[in-house]
Amino acid sequence: MAAAVILVALSPVQAHAASAVRAPAGKLGDGTQIEVITLRNAHGVSARILTYGATLQSLSAPDRKGEVADVVLGYDTLDGYVDHPNYFGTTIGRYANRIGGATFTLDGRAYRLPANDHGQSLHGGGKGFDKVAWRVASVRSGPVASVAMTHRSPAGDAGYPGTLDVTVTYSLDEAGALTIAFDATTDAPTIVNLTNHAIFNLSGEGAPGGATGHRLTIPATAITPVDTALIPTGTLRPVAGTAFDFRNGRVVADGIRDGNDPQIVAGRGYDHNFALDKGLTATPQMAARLEDPVSGRVLDVLSTEPGVQFYAGNFLDGTLTGKHGHLYRMGDGIALEPQKFPDAPNKSGFLSARVDPGKPYRHVMVYRLSTRK
């Protein structure tokens, strides 16, 4: 994997430059006040986080010439996220990705979930964590700027067992790394799979060339192939010799329309989970690298989880108007979502997503920004 030139270097006088600023962002229909917290370092990197959906509304960074642009798709105001939800930058839970048949069994009991995606349950069902108001627990400036938000999901919420107490913490450092830590505890056995659903265009959101010209590297020798409903079959398929081989890096556009591969046909392009060679790790390790030859921006995605969903915006169809009046279409952004494997509760061969009382859930992921010449 080619080394990237780190965006900035730390120095002692810059060590306390990161700031966190809290401001109102509007109200929901029931009067609930939503806030936006802006994290900013001294080198032009900033992140805006909405308490609605614990959403990464924007992530801005300089290109190789020092020009700053927002690199995530989304909406300019709260209303867009409420009125036209599409998971842009949101926190996903209780279970990210799909659960087949909108049902799973735990300790001999079957649980029925909302079927919000052609008979499957997607991203927690109809009202997941992306559609609730989170409570701000702390906002801190300093060497690392951060905001922590909490949410309680009661037992039976969207059909899931156990009362789940969740904390999501966004932290921005001076080297251009935005860390997102997900922590959860339960009072009864349940399943948990939390991630962030940011969709990136490193040329800048809405850039007319889209994101399929980006070069992507994923250190994975296999994917979890899917059926026509995009539910994993339960097997692993080697990527060698296929359009899914990103181990040495390749331009996304090179394989995204390869209709000779049934998996590309099923996903309408790339919408697949990659089984990372690293597996489940105690500390965040490389899950993917995205590079934009136009701007020089590089995004490294690190995670403790064993999989990463690569989604190339295949279902963006021009019906959503995002930031600055940009019409989002297929290929306009790329999501790289670290996670447990999709439908793991129904696949005995996949790493379990079970969480029990006294054994907290934790997932730490990092969006690390840099530039190359």
How many angstroms separate the CA atoms of 266 and 261, rounded?
9
Q: Tokens standing for 192?
A: 């948990």
Q: Tokens standing for 118?
A: 């052609």
Q: What's the DSSP call for residue 58?
A: E
Q: Identify the residue whose tokens are 């009661």.
A: 154
Of 168, 132, 125, nearest to 28 by C-alpha is: 132
User: Is residue 35 annotated as part of the catalytic site, yes or no?
Assistant: no
Selected catalytic residue, list 43, 123, 151, 197:
197
Q: Identify the residue whose tokens are 């994923």.
A: 218
Cβ partners under 8 Å of residue 267, min gap 6: 226, 230, 314
Alpha-carbon Rg for the chain, nearest whole angstrom, is: 19
Q: Tokens standing for 231?
A: 């539910």
Cβ partners under 8 Å of residue 131, min gap 6: 52, 53, 85
Of 286, 288, 302, 306, nearest to 349 by C-alpha is: 306
User: Is residue 337 annotated as part of the catalytic site, yes or no?
Assistant: yes
Cβ partners under 8 Å of residue 45, min gap 6: 7, 59, 60, 61, 62, 172, 176, 178, 369
- CA angle in degrees (0–180, nearest 5) for 349-113-98: 45
**CA–CA distance from 260 to each of 114, 134, 275, 276 (Å)?**
34, 44, 22, 24
Residues labelled as active-site residues? 197, 337
